[in-house]
């Protein structure tokens, strides 16, 4: 049954399928580490997908496109930021609002771009190495952004656990009153984290519209943003485990898509469910140990901070 | 420097005026949006909010969709609001809507072409049961395994969409349908047709059922111990636990109730306005109902008003597409702005703005 599936091409497409989730989940991890729960990932990804696409098409430069996507995602995230940090709105409801709003805004912005092709993204091409069998396609000849996503995880890990800034950000997420008493500006730090999370989600969305698909279609994220949120829980808020989670889900997605393409005797609709069902199963397994979960989760996650003095 | 200061007591006046402020804010920001899109904002607002009732030629047609949109929103939002009050976030009403429709429709199709008054009530019960059971998945996973109900219920929306696709191309496909992916049309047989009571406003029997349910929800929340326990759980889960509230019961009740109502709404949709199961019959009521619940202040009476207002933006939005060429997603953005506005002004219930000199 797997005869005409080459393992190498399977791994390559797995990595490509995982990258949007990896970007979004890494950004959300930083947001949650600062004690903020932003459920608007899906909306920010959609806004990033279309703003990246629009910028790339009009400048002809995909890298500028990704910068535009980051800007679009960050601006969308800051709406959430202002509402939750200054106007003390409920984070769950505001995050949902951002997803509903982002779905609408992206559809509106995307109307002139239906059916267009984006400029191709640069790929890594190292003489000899990229031409190696097996290792070449898997390690040395992806698009640049795929490497950026992995570097991003490393950079986030370094920032969170090896720098003073990261320590402050985690302190804000663990006990915002204590951080405030020490003189740190809780709200500004959180706004920074929220904007960063939005930029990452935006880039993840643009990876879909500029590289993976590559095209703009309405609602093209199709739940990936929500899966990214689940991955953060799966990863127990640890950066390196986000890679594991994202690649696991990329794997499930690619496998079911390939089974559909092979015409396996299961309805395509049932196969399309599998990434979501796997997400639920994994969430259950990861959450079942209450003590461990509450140890890993930032203590202030979703709590409102208001300095009375 | 402008600062927020906590009020000693939450403001009753602000509780009821903030939704009005939010609507006003939405009109301003939405108006700017329409202007950017090259549409005269005043003309757009007139078409969206007034023409469905007062325009001579478009009005009568537009009005027939008014309650068609409002009733499912009110029904779903009523259920959601109970959970939201308890801090239990059922975000998957859209999925429960779909599964309720499938479950109820399956019964109708199994009995096809049955005669008798009992067929439709039976389908409605099974529809509610379908939504209930679908909502029990996140409930049980939360109670037993501590799994986040937001993510689980949301994942189940995507599962339900795919399940619907599998059903209308498989077991529930219309045998006389020339291979199209849809079920038999329920409105072809009287026993499976939701009675239309007042066509000019699009009032089906579901409207009456929704009204009864809203009243029941009001009694539950304001007069019954369970409603009190729900509210305590939302305000302070620890206090609720100490006073003997069983968290598992509250979780199961909140998710189950909202699931059942969403499922019921789904069944009403397929036996009434939609007429049959197709892959595109769910149009996002499950998500829009979240906005309705918040706009209505999670209060049954407020939800009725909010549901009617939201239905107006739907039918008015369709008119604006027709008359002004307003792009279809603009209305979705407009609804998003509305939710943002409500959330932004809610702070003034418990806080007030004061001018304070910077403390050194």
Question: pLDDT class for A142, splitting at 50, 70, 90?
Answer: confident
- On whether any CB of chain B is under 8 Å from the CB of A226, the answer is yes
Residue of A nearest to B336 (CA): A101
Question: pLDDT class for A130, splitting at 50, 70, 90?
Answer: confident
Question: pLDDT class for A2, splitting at 50, 70, 90?
Answer: very low
Tokens 């979501």, located at residue? A276
3-state secondary structure of B2: strand
State the virtual CA torsion across A269, A274, A280, A282 in degrees, nearest 10.
180
Spatial distance between the Cα atoms of A193 and A44, rounded to a whole number of angstroms: 14
Q: What is the ipTM of this complex?
A: 0.89
Strongest mean pLDDT among A117-131, A186-200, A232-246, B32-46: A186-200
Percent of chain A residues past pLDDT 70, beyond the cut? 98
Chain B residues inside the 8 Å CB shell of A282: none
Angle at B269 between CA B86 and CA B82, to 5 degrees: 10
Residue A163 predicted with pLDDT over 70: yes
Burial (CB < 10 A; 0-12, 13-18, 19+), residue B357, is exposed
Q: Do B330 and A293 touch (CB under 8 A)?
A: no
Token output for B225: 């111990």
pLDDT digits (tens, 9 = 90+) for B154-199: 999 999 999 999 999 888 888 887 778 888 888 888 888 888 889 8
- On whether any CB of chain B is under 8 Å from the CB of A282, the answer is no
Percent of chain B residues past pLDDT 70, beyond the cut? 99
In total, chain A counts a number of residues equal to: 309
pLDDT digits (tens, 9 = 90+) for A22-79: 999 999 999 999 999 999 999 999 999 999 999 999 999 999 999 999 999 999 999 9
What's the sign of the alpha-carbon dihedral A242, A220, A89, B252? negative
pTM over 0.80: yes
**Which whole number is the average pLDDT over B317-341?**
89
Q: Which domains does chain A have, with CATH numbers?
A: 4-111+142-296 (1.10.3470)
- On whether any CB of chain B is under 8 Å from the CB of A276, the answer is yes
3-state secondary structure of A123: strand
pLDDT at A150 (0 to 100)? 94
User: What residues does each domain of chain B span?
Assistant: 73-199+214-284+293-300
Residue A3 predicted with pLDDT over 50: no
Chain A residues inside the 8 Å CB shell of B290: 93, 96, 100
Could you give the count of Cα atoms lying within 13 Å of B279 in the half-sphere of its Cβ?
A: 13
pLDDT at A43 (0 to 100)? 96
- Containing H/E element for A68? helix A62-81
Chain B residues inside the 8 Å CB shell of A111: 327, 329
Query: How many other C-beta atoms lie within 10 A of the C-beta of residue A16?
Result: 19
Residue B204 carries which DSSP code? Answer: E
- On whether any CB of chain B is under 8 Å from the CB of A167, the answer is no
pLDDT at A308 (0 to 100)? 66
Residue pair A260/A267 in contact by the 8 Å Cβ criterion: no
Residue A99 predicted with pLDDT over 80: yes
Better-scored residue on pLDDT, A123 or B64: B64
Q: Do A284 and B147 touch (CB under 8 A)?
A: yes
Spatial distance between the Cα atoms of A38 and A196, rounded to a whole number of angstroms: 12
pLDDT at B358 (0 to 100)? 60
Least confident of A195-199, A242-246, A255-259, B340-344: A255-259
């Amino acid at each position: 049954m797997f005869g005409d599936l080459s393992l190498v091409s399977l791994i390559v497409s797995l990595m490509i399928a995982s990258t949007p989730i990896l970007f979004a989940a890494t950004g959300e991890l930083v947001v949650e580490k600062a004690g903020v729960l932003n459920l608007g990932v899906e909306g920010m990804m959609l806004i990033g997908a279309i703003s990246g696409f629009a910028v790339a098409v009009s400048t002809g430069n995909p890298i500028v496109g990704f910068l535009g996507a980051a800007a679009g995602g960050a601006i969308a995230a800051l709406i959430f930021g202002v509402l939750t940090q200054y106007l003390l709105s409920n984070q769950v409801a505001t995050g949902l609002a951002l997803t509903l709003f982002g779905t609408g805004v992206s559809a509106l912005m995307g109307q002139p771009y239906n059916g267009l092709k984006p400029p191709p993204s640069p790929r890594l091409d190292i003489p000899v190495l990229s031409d190696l069998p097996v290792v070449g396609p898997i390690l040395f000849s992806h698009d640049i952004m795929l490497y950026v996503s992995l570097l991003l995880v490393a950079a986030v890990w370094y920032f969170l656990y090896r720098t003073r800034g990261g320590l402050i950000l985690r302190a804000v997420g663990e006990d915002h009153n204590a951080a405030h008493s020490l003189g740190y500006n809780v709200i500004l730090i959180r706004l920074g984290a929220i904007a960063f999370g939005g930029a990452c989600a935006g880039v993840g969305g643009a990876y879909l519209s500029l590289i993976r698909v590559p095209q703009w279609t309405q609602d093209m994220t199709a739940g990936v943003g929500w899966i990214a949120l689940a991955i953060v829980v799966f990863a127990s808020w640890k950066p390196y485990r986000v890679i594991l989670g994202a690649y696991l889900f990329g794997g499930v997605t690619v496998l079911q898509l390939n089974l559909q393409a092979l015409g396996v005797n299961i309805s395509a609709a049932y196969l399309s469910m599998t990434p979501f069902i796997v997400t639920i199963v994994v969430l259950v397994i990861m959450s079942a140990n209450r003590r461990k979960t509450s140890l890993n989760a930032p203590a202030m996650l979703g709590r409102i901070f208001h300095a009375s003095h | 420097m402008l600062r927020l200061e906590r009020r000693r007591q939450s403001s009753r006046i602000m509780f009821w005026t903030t939704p009005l402020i939010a609507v006003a804010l939405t009109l301003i920001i939405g108006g700017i949006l329409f202007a950017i899109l090259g549409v005269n904002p005043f003309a757009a607002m007139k078409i969206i909010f007034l023409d469905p009732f007062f325009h001579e030629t478009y009005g009568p047609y537009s009005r027939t969709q008014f309650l068609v949109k409002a009733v499912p929103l009110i029904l779903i939002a009523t259920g959601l609001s109970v959970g939201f009050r308890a801090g239990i976030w059922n975000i998957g009403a859209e999925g429960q809507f779909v599964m309720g429709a499938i479950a109820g429709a399956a019964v109708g199709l199994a009995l096809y072409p049955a005669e008798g008054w009992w067929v439709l009530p039976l389908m409605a019960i099974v529809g509610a049961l379908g939504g209930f059971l679908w909502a029990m998945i996140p409930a049980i996973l939360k109670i037993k395994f501590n799994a986040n109900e937001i993510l689980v219920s949301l994942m189940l929306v995507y599962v339900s969409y795919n399940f619907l696709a599998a059903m209308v191309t498989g077991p529930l496909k219309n045998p006389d349908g020339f291979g199209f992916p849809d079920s038999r049309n329920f409105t072809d047989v009287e026993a499976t047709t939701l009675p239309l009571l007042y066509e000019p406003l699009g009032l089906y029997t579901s409207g009456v059922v929704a009204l009864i349910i809203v009243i029941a929800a009001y009694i539950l929340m304001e007069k019954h111990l369970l409603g009190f326990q729900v509210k305590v759980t939302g305000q302070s889960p620890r206090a609720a636990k100490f006073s003997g509230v069983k968290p598992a019961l509250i979780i199961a009740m909140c998710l189950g109730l909202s699931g059942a109502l969403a499922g019921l709404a789904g069944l009403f949709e397929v036996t009434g306005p939609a007429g049959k199961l197709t892959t595109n019959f769910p149009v996002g009521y499950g998500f829009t109902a979240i906005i309705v619940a918040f706009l209505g202040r999670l209060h049954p009476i407020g939800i009725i008003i909010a549901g009617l207002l939201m239905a107006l933006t739907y039918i008015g939005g369709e008119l604006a597409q027709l008359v002004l060429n307003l792009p279809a997603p603009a209305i979705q953005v407009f609804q998003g702005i509305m939710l943002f506005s409500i959330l932004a002004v809610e702070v003034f219930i418990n806080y007030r703005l004061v001018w304070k000199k910077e403390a050194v």
